[in-house]
Structure 1
Amino acid sequence: MAERKSARSTDRFRRKRDAILDASTAIMNERGVKGLTLADAAAAVGLSTTSVTYYFKRKDDLAAGCMLRGIAWLQATTDEALAAPNPPQRLARLLQLYFERVARAATGAEPPLPTLSDLRALKDAQRAEVFEAYMRLFRRVRTLFDSPDMAWLSRGRRTARTHMLLEQLFWSATWLPKYDPEDYDRVRDRMYDILVGGFAIEGATWAPIPVPLAELAAREGPDMSRETFLLAATRLINSRGYRGASVDKISAALNVTKGSFYHHNEAKDDLVVACFDRTFDVMRRVQRLAMAMDGTQWQRISSAAAALAEYQLSEYGPLLRVSALSALPGEIRTEQVAHSDRVSDRFASMISDGIAEGSIRPIDPVIAAQMLNATLNAGAELGFWVPGITQKAAPSVFARPLLMGIFTR
């Protein structure tokens, strides 16, 4: 009798805990870790804030719980996908399972998966726990490439491709809502086709035309001073998240006063917007330079991708990671997502022109452009995942696998 009572109590605890995590994941995906509160989580499930603290003492415990549950699902899904006999079939199974889950979430049949891009916004103890779990997941996904046929792939290049692949899954959350859930299977198949076959037609070579990176940097004078400030802020936000990149730390990095900070920006949100504006401006300038090149659209798109991959590791980089979007108020975030979409739309136009002229395979240009945008954005972290990688090596190690095929030598 006591055992049955204890089991019912345990089930009741688990159900309430899961309900809190479900509601909190939706809130966190919408507002970021910064916008998640225990009070909002409690209101979403009809509990008092005190009741929620019985399950999660602090907000960061709750946010970490959401992320850890999502990582556990991804780990189990990866394990199932890895049962397939070879890398292409493992990739196909991973995409199938992932898109089935996000389709169920889109229709309300299951809770959403948590956004992991805001991991750095957690406090130290929770961040360490979630990051350790993510590293276990990452190492497991990396074994997708384990095969005698791929023995030529070095550990660093395998790591870079794993980072690129996972970024495709996470980034898809920003553009999948444009499609009806009933179309997710088609989207999945097109993503698989692009990942395996790349953009290039048979016989194409990887020979991007160099873009002088100095042309992308601000010139002397006030613009250069602002560029220096925004670059320091971008590096801090990328490495420590919105919460960790305090005004004091940004000012200290440049050896200036807080007054200098507020001379450039009225508030921290304004600073994030300015960093995004700088990022999109650099990407648009690269696109314009590539579009003005002689040659085919394949040469232009590969040259733009190579330039931006190299820029991320140059003295002028990196660009701001899209994870910073979650810290912005809804209206501002929507505006910045629109800027990102315009960059993707231009890539889509270049890809469409390449398909028409026959220099690029017949692929879905809209999905391919989003995947390219995801890859280039993720390049900001390439130095972390592949220590010692050089600026010149970044295009072939990171951009080339998407454009030529993830399993291509």
Structure 2
Amino acid sequence: MTATLQQVPLPLREQAAVRDGWLSRRVAELLPGFMDEAGIDLWVVVGREYHEDPVLPSLLPATWLSARRRTVLLLHRTATGVAPAAVARYPVGDFASVWHPADDDPAHTPEAAQWAAVRRTVDRARPTRIGIDVSATFAHADGLSHTDHEQLLAALGPWADRVVPAEALAVRWLETRLPEEIAALHGMNALVHRTVDEAFSRSVITPGTTTAADVAWWVRQRFHDLGVDPWFQPTVDVQRRGLPGPTEDAVVQRGDLLHCDVGLRTLGLTTDTQRNAYVLADGETAAPAGLVAAHAVGNRMQDLVTAAMQPGRTGDEVLAAARAGAAAEGIDGDVYSHPVGVHGHGAGPAIGMWDAQDGVPGAGSARLHADTTWALELCVRVPVPEWDGQVVRMALEQGVALTAEGVDYLDGRQTGLITVPG
């Protein structure tokens, strides 16, 4: 299975089989522990078509591309595991249907009948704590709409006083990866790296003619042709001797430092990657030593962050440790790393933000867990002697997996500039 998953992208039908297998395993093997950690014995996830809870797609079978009308999923922690149930008009994969039209009161509207079915199911489950997706910190865990919230509480009746936020449960569910998912992310990152290598080559770039936007759109088209989706518009920017700051509005010239930011989605997972390249000037066979050194400083900053990434630490603690290490070594840089998995900017601790280098209120206090995947995102600022001391912003972003064994770079990290022949 691992070898196959590292050969992404897979045909759609194979993707569906893989994703549904993962979902069954996740519900059976991961969810009971997460519910116990959160102290929740019934998790209610509600979404309506075109207004889905961010958690909902991670629970739906692969052939469901969205909710249908109102979809209500109930996950009941029993003595032997988790019993998934659906209160919906259609079967929902492994979720047993608990809404039977024959049980409906003829006087009820379809909407009222659906909520009555929810109530009957809750009556049978007799939960102690009912988790719902409301959160002031994580948007991923705040997917219960105002209308559905009101109607759910009304339907629950005397059970409504047992409702609690499911923030911790939703985050643990979204952030945690099976080993097979991590294997797939290795393959997905390899695909990104191959695509960037091709984008930063003479097969795509003609110095003096090709624009940074041309390269960015080439990446997006390439993803489309490969059968994967971007989750944001790829970007490419240029830094040049004598040019103030990075710009995306430039024709690529010899002697330019190029940087990209790209991310793809397939198999219900995402990547987030930034890489750097140098276009050789006339007579050059390698990038200037100052630029090579600047990239090495970026790699050192990565080392400082990954050394601090330990399960049990908060995002703010990791940030503080990495920045203290950088200061001790005279490195000028910022750290703004984040989980990546079901969502590109995923659920879980924030390790800095570009505009919050002293800690991130709320998300920065969340703790790291093993079996999670991350975008190790940061930048360093380094003066380049060959550019008359001009400060270059070297930005790097690399997928990593955090396990009990430590941090593993997904398909390896970039340790030197890609060179584009002039």
TM-score normalised by length of structure 1: 0.30
Q: Pick the structure with greater CA Rg.
A: 2
Ranked by relative contact order (alpha carbons within 8 Å, sequence separation 6 or more), the top structure is 1
Determine which structure has the larger strand proportion and give its number: 2
Determine which structure has the larger helix proportion and give its number: 1
